[in-house]
Amino acid sequence: MVDPNASRPSRWLLRIARLRVTLGFVVAPVAFLLADPTYSSIAMGGVVGACGVALRLWAAGHIRKSKEVTSSGPYRFTRHPLYLGSGILGVGFAIAAASLPVAVVVLGYLAVMLGVAITVEEAALRDKFGSTYDGYASGTLEASSRPFSLEQAVRNGEHRALLGFIASLGLLSLKVWFGSIV
């Protein structure tokens, strides 16, 4: 017998998904407190994180959230470029923080939260778009050739990821600077 709700995530996954942003606001200060950055670690992490920001920006310039199954830009290569970009951003932050406890906290948070978000999102896309999403997920949906739109990326709020990353590097830099004058 086929379970008609098989694609629906469990209630606890939905609860965790709803807590993603709130928990991020808890994890961030802990990460900053445990960070032991240097200017070199900030530079290296900044380069890695910038790659994550760039991937997120590219993806946000293609996606039309809740309106279609996007198959242009980075969506031709990976089903979740926004989450992949977030993961790369997190790795960049962990490198910039130069602290094993920060790496464990940040990467653990990302592994759990992005895994949950992907599960919940895929179930929602299957519910909304059915066989079109299944075709995309299996790689049989033809990729579209829509061009990148900076206006779309801004409409999707992607500038916030860039500003947040710049702010985090700035705070880490202040921690190095204040540590060097004490």
Helix (H, G, I), strand (E, B) or coil at 157: coil
Enclosing domain of residue 171? 11-181
Q: What is the pLDDT of residue 17?
A: 80
Q: What is the pLDDT of residue 4?
A: 43
* Digit-coded pLDDT (tens) for 54-72: 999 999 999 999 899 999 9
* Residue 94 is assigned to a structural domain of this protein: yes
* Residue 2 is assigned to a structural domain of this protein: no
Stretch 33-43: mean pLDDT, rounded?
97
Q: What is the pLDDT of residue 181?
A: 57
- Quick one: pLDDT band at residue 3, thresholds 50, 70, 90? very low
Domain count across the chain: 1
* Residue 6 is assigned to a structural domain of this protein: no
* Residue 3 is assigned to a structural domain of this protein: no
Distance of alpha carbon 61 from its chain centroid, rounded? Answer: 15
* Residue 152 is assigned to a structural domain of this protein: yes
Q: What is the pLDDT of residue 7?
A: 55
* Residue 120 is assigned to a structural domain of this protein: yes
Give the CATH number of the domain where residue 74 resides: 1.20.120
Please check the confidence at residue 2 and state whether its pLDDT lies above 60.
Answer: no
Q: Answer whether 0.95 is exceeded by the pTM.
A: no
Please check the confidence at residue 45 and state whether its pLDDT lies above 90.
Answer: yes
3-state helix, strand, coil in the chain (%, to 5): 75, 0, 25
Q: What is the pLDDT of residue 13?
A: 80
| Contact predicate 63/156, CB 8 Å | yes
